[in-house]
Amino acid sequence: MPSVLKATNRIFCGKKFLCLDDQSAPDADVAAIEKRICNQIISDRCSFVCGVDAFAGVGVSAFLWARCSRTLFLVERRQNALTLLRKNLRNIRQPLCTIKIVHATAQEFLEAAVRAKLSFDFLDLDPFGDCLDLLPVASALVQSGVICFTTGEIYQVYRGLNRRGSKPTPQSYRGKGAREWVRKELLPEITAGLPGSQIVHFYAYPTSVRVIVRVGCYPIYPHWFEGRPRFLSWLA
């Protein structure tokens, strides 16, 4: 028997979006609300030629990216999310933006883009979990632009369980010490993985960190985010 797709309606920017139950609620969860605010700051001030939302989900962030991009690729690997993304498209579309939906993994799409010698000036990497492994391909594709990067690795650090590369993260980074891990370990690792980049803003939550990175001399500035919190919830 075919499985029934369970979707819930969530309101974002006055529009109804069909969402999956496992997707963070754009209108309720603290970290999701901060993501929307930061995304909106970017979308209101930037203008991209060609952007990629490589973990598009059901398209809530895509609604904002379509407002500031001439061409926008929405990449999603999961069939259920794709089905809802297509249904939400009527709310995402903008007259000046060409949207291309791609059913693939982020890695497949980005590697194919490198082979096709494409380049982008905007890239959103927002998985459930971590995608540090995508930094080399991101670096190859964005020479001047903005990369938004989310990682869930902090949850392991926060609990004192992180063993990436078989090396335990020092216990001093446990609990609120995770704030230091963000500044001393994560942010330098991201800038080292993206030559010619600068951290414009970040915020951290016990289960995820989102980092906004300028690559090259793209006009995006830290003062746009002045007043936004850096550490949320138990990390505050």
Ligand X SMILES: C[S@@+](CC[C@H](N)C(=O)[O-])C[C@H]1O[C@@H](n2cnc3c(N)ncnc32)[C@H](O)[C@@H]1O
- C-alpha 169/C-alpha 177 separation (Å) is 11
Q: Of 77 and 201, which has the nearer Cβ to ligand X?
A: 77
User: Judged by CB under 6 A, how many residues of this single chain contact ligand X?
Assistant: 16
Using CB under 6 A as the binding rule, whether residue 145 contacts ligand X is answered as no
Q: Which residue in the set 57, 72, 120, 182 belongs to the binding site for ligand X (CB under 6 A)?
A: 57
- C-alpha 231/C-alpha 208 separation (Å) is 11
Q: Of 128 and 224, which has the nearer Cβ to ligand X?
A: 128
Contact map string, positions 5 to 44, toward ligand X, x by CB under 6 A? ------------------x---------------------
Show the tokens assigned to 229.
Answer: 């919190």
Of 65-73, 120-128, 213-221, 223-231, the window that binds ligand X (rule: CB under 6 A) is 120-128
Using CB under 6 A as the binding rule, whether residue 110 contacts ligand X is answered as no
- C-alpha 79/C-alpha 98 separation (Å) is 22
Q: Which residue is nearest to ligand X (CB)?
A: 57
Q: Of 135 and 173, which has the nearer Cβ to ligand X?
A: 135
Q: Of 50 and 81, which has the nearer Cβ to ligand X?
A: 81
- C-alpha 33/C-alpha 27 separation (Å) is 6
Burial of 211 from C-beta contacts in 10 A (0-12 / 13-18 / 19+): buried
DSSP 89-138: HHHH--TT-EEEEEES-HHHHHHHHHHTT---SEEEE--SS--GGGHHHH
In the complex, what is the shortest distance from the CB of residue 77 to ligand X, in angstroms, rounded to a whole number?
Answer: 4
Using CB under 6 A as the binding rule, whether residue 153 contacts ligand X is answered as no
What does DSSP say about strands 208-215 and 197-205: parallel, antiparallel, or unpaired? antiparallel
Closest alpha carbon to 183 in 142, 135, 230:
230
User: Which residues are at the interface with ligand X (CB under 6 A)?
Assistant: 23, 55-57, 60-61, 75-78, 81, 105-106, 126-128
